[in-house]
Amino acid sequence: KAGVTQTPRYLIKTRGQQVTLSCSPISGHRSVSWYQQTPGQGLQFLFEYFSETQRNKGNFPGRFSGRQFSNSRSEMNVSTLELGDSALYLCASSFTSGALGNEQFFGPGTRLTVL
């Protein structure tokens, strides 16, 4: 079974631009969560999508948004990029949501650099 895939793997943008990152979960998994990893803040939860609905949201500004499609693939969008948005963005999929202790499987991440 193929793992979680994320595209693109690397991205360079300039301040003020917007960016869209994509995540394809493991086949059969319906929940997709997004995390931001930076040296200063560590790993932080962005949001979770399940059955095309946002189920949880972390403490991030409205510039960060996401969506999930009927095939469970998810995209996250960051508008009006700031230098501080430079990070590794990790996507994780799990079989379901709303159950105890769902194991999350992580993708390789997208490295976003904002210049």
Partner 1 sequence: AQTVTQSQPEMSVQEAETVTLSCTYDTSENNYYLFWYKQPPSRQMILVIRQEAYKQQNATENRFSVNFQKAAKSFSLKISDSQLGDTAMYFCAAIEGINNDMRFGAGTRLTVKP
**DSSP state, residue 25:** P
99 interacts with partner 1 by CB under 8 A: yes
Using a 10 angstrom Cβ sphere, with 0-12 exposed, 13-18 middle and 19 or more buried, the burial of residue 62 is exposed
What is residue 83's three-state secondary structure?
Answer: helix
Q: Quick check: bond before 39 cis, omega within 30?
A: no
Of 79 and 108, which CB lies nearer to partner 1 in the complex structure?
108
Nearest distance from residue 53's CB to partner 1, in Å?
Answer: 13
Q: Residue type at 77?
A: N
* Cα separation, 115 vs 102, whole angstroms: 37
103 interacts with partner 1 by CB under 8 A: yes
Contact with partner 1 (CB under 8 A) among 23, 66, 109, 114: 109
The region of 16-24, 48-56, 64-72, 77-85 touching partner 1 under the rule CB under 8 A is: 48-56
Site string for partner 1, 24-43 (x = CB under 8 A): -------x-x-x------xx
CB 97 within 8 A of CB 53: no
Which residues sit at the interface with partner 1, rule CB under 8 A? 31, 33, 35, 42-45, 48, 50, 55-56, 58, 88, 90, 92, 94, 97-109, 111
